A and B are shown apart, each in its own frame.
Chain A
């Protein structure tokens, strides 16, 4: 009995620091975001006025917020689909097929992940440069060598968000590819052998063996990716266009940053933060629900 008490005491002593840290650095700030969203506050001084839900009613009437919302969702959808499609395909090719220089490709695909977002943004700014960028120079080859009517990859409000999506996909593919390669490598070779004996082709093998067996991994990474996508899009937008031109590339967090700091509306910024918080939570829950499958093990 005494021993048991000592044991629980010991466990409590071990767990307390972590819990205290968690409360101080996670729970309290999160609650604070919700609390701050009910105030009108400049952000620098101690003066705050309580305004209730007014920040939210302004938010729901603002086109700029909806534009940021749209852009964020567009990025989440496009970047996720494209990244996952290519990451899985490349991973399958690199693990299942015998190609020369497999390791070389593995490294090449992974490199973008080592680079910082600012470096990637600089690379893509150079690629997208309208006058002597890689992309426009390449397109000019097909237009008879002239670059008379250059495409403004980062300058046209209609194109800019897709330009950012391309950079994001480029950055993310390698990391997820490596993750899938790891779980694909674990699938026993015997499954493929017997499938081949039964006459299943490569595509059938992929859809009936590979995909179901790495499904748990896909599910987890999908949730990760979507949440990190919200953060990543901010970094890319901040470093490449700063929401420009004319706000066409603003996303959730860049709009929040702009309002909370540049526009001296910290409380309003926090209201945006609350919406982002709820949105990502809801999205993660929905994803979890729709991707639920019976777990298959080998």
Chain B
């Protein structure tokens, strides 16, 4: 009996201890739990976090780990520390960055600098922008790049800091700074075209001709990895059809914009393209199986797919048809000698309003545009290229071809749909791009799709940021 009691008490004590331990974790620093790594590769401990006394400043940088790898960020942070004595950069880099930094942010502790592009599934960046929680970084543009004598603004390629992504509120101020960029367009197998004696179409009419020729040989004209890849495609096509002014209206969900002739041209092209799409594409057009759709290009079962430069690295290990060689082109023009556009995808670095070391953070962001940092970023196996003057000339191999697309006359399109307050139940992808799957399977008609776009656009327009 006595033993039983003792056991009970021991169990109770154990549970209580467990509770205390759990409670401690939720309020304590998550750095150690999540295994965030500082630049020297050691686990951060609570003690290190508090070491902000005296000259020693601690800068918290959070970056998402993408195909470019984590090493470049660790190297850049180390280089920043070396050039700024007394500064310690505490880097959190993770593929699931949101999961790692969210618990701390909810308790009010924000990283000073966050590198995460718009378009992520958990929409970290979008949420901060929608909540007006990003710091104005316009003054960084006039800062001198550390160790150099040019300003950041002069170093960044034109167009990259005056688009609707970096200036989400349309007030002429820059809130998100452009980082690694890459052109998006149509990827294909150059070897296949050479073998068959086909040429890359320059207009959509030529595209359809090629589609018919290919169909006769059992090859589909088009495929897409997932409908998410239609964003870049849609923006570029819209720009081709509309020109800059109307395009800007469309990006702001302008009233009546989708009923214009230009918009209808775009919808018609996508509808027609759906009939030329490899029929099994929608079955694999999800985040798990999309590589099977990309494989169609490597296997010569489809000719074109919209994609970005990362696809080369992504499919590096995949088996491929004999004589395969990556080809890359801007979208065909709508009319003879018309505009050919290519969307420029770029990632963004920004600062949450709750950041503590704002000045140091801005210094760090300015440093990211230095030649020193750019060289480190571009040193990996798949180089991360920044929109800095002269960067594209330093590239070699496939990348040289990709980045030269704009030198060959293609128009660079950079904007995206304007930021709105969150509209419950409506997402841009769900309204504009996901229905392409249904167009291909024939479960929706173009009219269903367009009327959905028109009604959702009305709702989004009403929620636009002023």
| Interface, chain A (partner B; CB < 8 A) | 10, 13-14, 16-18, 20-21, 24, 40, 42-47, 55, 58-59, 62, 64-65, 121-122, 125, 128-131, 150, 152-158, 239-242, 244-248, 258-259, 261-265, 268
| Among candidates A45, A62, A155, A268, residue contacting B437 with C-beta atoms closer than 8 Å | A155
The 8 Å CB contact of B424, one of A13, A125, A244, A259, is: A259
Contact assessment for A20 and B19 in the assembled complex, using a CB-CB cutoff below 8 Å? yes
Closest-by-CB residue of A relative to B353 is A45
Contact with A153, one of B106, B130, B283, B443 (Cβ below 8 angstroms): B283
Stretch binding the partner chain, chosen from B9-17, B65-73, B145-153, B389-397: B9-17
The answer to whether residues A47 and B131 also contact, given A158-B443, A262-B121 and a CB cut-off of 8 A, is yes
**A-B residue pairs, 9 tightest by C-beta:** A155-B283, A245-B437, A155-B282, A130-B280, A152-B283, A42-B127, A268-B424, A17-B15, A264-B127
Q: Which residue among B9, B435, B443, B444 has the maximum number of chain A CB atoms within 10 Å of its CB?
A: B443
Contact with A along B96-122 (1 / 0, CB 8 A): 000000100110100000000000011
Known contacts A10-B5, A244-B434, A264-B422; is-contact A131 B128 (Cβ 8 Å): no
Query: Which single residue of chain B is at the shortest CB-CB distance from A154?
Result: B283
Q: List, sorted by A's number, 12 A–B pairs whose CB atoms are closer than 8 Å.
A: A20-B19, A24-B23, A44-B106, A45-B128, A46-B108, A129-B284, A154-B284, A155-B285, A156-B282, A247-B430, A262-B121, A264-B126
B202 interfacial contact with A, CB 8 Å: no
Give min CB distance, A47 to chain B, whole Å. 6
Residue numbers of B with Cβ under 8 A of A are: 5, 8-9, 11-12, 15-16, 18-19, 23, 102, 105-106, 108, 121-124, 126-128, 130-131, 133, 226-227, 279-289, 292, 352, 354, 422-427, 430, 434-438, 441, 443-444
Assembly CA distance A125 to B5 (angstroms): 54
Q: Are B127 and A157 in contact (CB under 8 A)?
A: no
Given contacts A13-B9, A45-B133, A264-B127, contact A152 B424 (CB under 8 A): no
Q: B284 to A155, Cβ gap below 8 A?
A: yes
Q: Is A45 touching B131 in the complex (CB atoms < 8 A)? A: yes
Nearest Cβ on chain B to A116's Cβ, whole angstroms:
14
Q: Are B422 and A40 in contact (CB under 8 A)?
A: yes
Q: Which residue of the partner chain, among B8, B102, B133, B427, contacts A263 with CB atoms under 8 Å?
A: B427
A104 to chain B, nearest CB (A): 32
The verdict on A262 contacting B441 (CB below 8 Å), with A42-B422, A45-B133, A125-B289 known, is no
Q: Is the CB of A157 within 8 A of B19?
A: no
Most buried by A among B5, B131, B279: B131
Question: How many Å from the CB of B442 to the closest CB on chain A?
Answer: 9
Smallest beta-carbon distance B244→chain A, Å:
29
Interfacial chain B residues near A263, Cβ < 8 Å: 123, 422-427
A150 CA / B122 CA spacing, docked (Å)? 34
Closest to B110 in A: A45
Residue among A24, A62, A155, A259 making CB contact with B19, cutoff 8 Å:
A24
